[in-house]
Structure 1
Amino acid sequence: MEIQQETTTALFIKIATSNWELQNTRLNALLDKLTDEQIAGFTAPDRNSGTYLLGHLTAVSDGLFTYLELGERLYPQMDEIFLKNSDNSGLEKPPIADIKAAWHNVNTTLKQKFDAMQPEDWFTKHSAIPAEDFAKEPHRNKLNILINRTVHQGYHMGQLAYLVKK
């Protein structure tokens, strides 16, 4: 069976975006199992709190608006706490309910933006790579960013799983 190039490209994009959505669904299900008290706890001694990890994932996902050239970020103020500093920085974190709301808003908005993209858009350069570098390394594209962020989310979801009480 021969599949046309255009169909193959769209299928590959669907695989990647569906995996991103699946990771979001899994993380949302995990968050639904956890109380705010559990989320505020630490995943292990001398490790990150669930609050920090959720804020970190929210800030990283919010950064996709910039990297993928999808518009203005929704919560750039989260970078100082969750990207530029560690959990033990002493900086005051927003309430867990606010972080959860931001998480859901970022991902709902990103999904809408992703759904509006054409398959070929995913193979264009992202905002952090100069055109001359992209010409030499075309794999450093928007799809690569999405795949990287999906894996990153799965990594931290594994840490958050330690917050579930047995």
Structure 2
Amino acid sequence: MTTTEISIKMILDRWHGSIKNCDTILNSISDEQLLKEIAPGKNRGIYLLGHLIAVHDDMLRLMDMGEKLYPELYEPFLNAADKTTDNLPTAATLRNYWAKQNEALQQKFDSLKTEQWFERHTAVSAEDFVKEPHRNKLNIVITRTSHLQYHTGQLALLK
């Protein structure tokens, strides 16, 4: 393995480990617990789960891997604050979406060749990418892993 391949593997191993950690937390809490606030006046677990799905769904578009699987989640979980809409999917539906979306991302990740991880993501122009080559697909995985870890920690408070 080259140093580049090792680096990619390290980052993807942390991504997969973080998904697994979140799955462990989600499997340890009930749908009823997901309806509770993380702390008084804060987001509910169901909102955080929907938010994670919506953010990860956007990775498909950002990494030029296809269209979002669940575009209907954008409005309630990215554009609106928790408790501002009553029209949320059920916890069971979101758990199903979470699993399917993780499978879809895994398939897309597995299909990338080493050099493709260093291609620009769609939120950066070709001109800016020349000046900022770190704004690539692999960087999206890094930032989304940190985001996932943060919200997994919040979900753990529901236990």
TM-score, L = length of structure 2: 0.97
Counterparts of 2:94 and 2:113, CA distance in 1: 30
Deviation digits for residues 32-90 of structure 1, max 9, x if unmatched?
A: 10011001111001100000000000000011100011111100110000000000212
Q: Which stretches in structure 1 are left out of the alignment for 5+ residues? A: 1-5
Tell me what 1:81 maps to: 76
Aligned equivalent of 1:3: none
Judge conservation of contact 2:76–2:85 (CA < 8 Å) in 1.
Answer: no
Paired residues for 1:1-166 under 5 Å: 7-164=2-159
The aligned length equals 159
SS at match of 2:157: helix
Question: 1:59·1:79 contact (CA, 8 Å) conserved in 2?
Answer: yes
Runs of at least 4 residues of structure 1 off by over 2 A?
A: none
| Cα-Cα RMSD | 0.9
Q: Which has the higher contact order (CA 8 A, sep 6+)?
A: 2
2:20 is aligned with what amino acid? Answer: T
Percent identity of paired positions between Structure 1 and Structure 2: 45
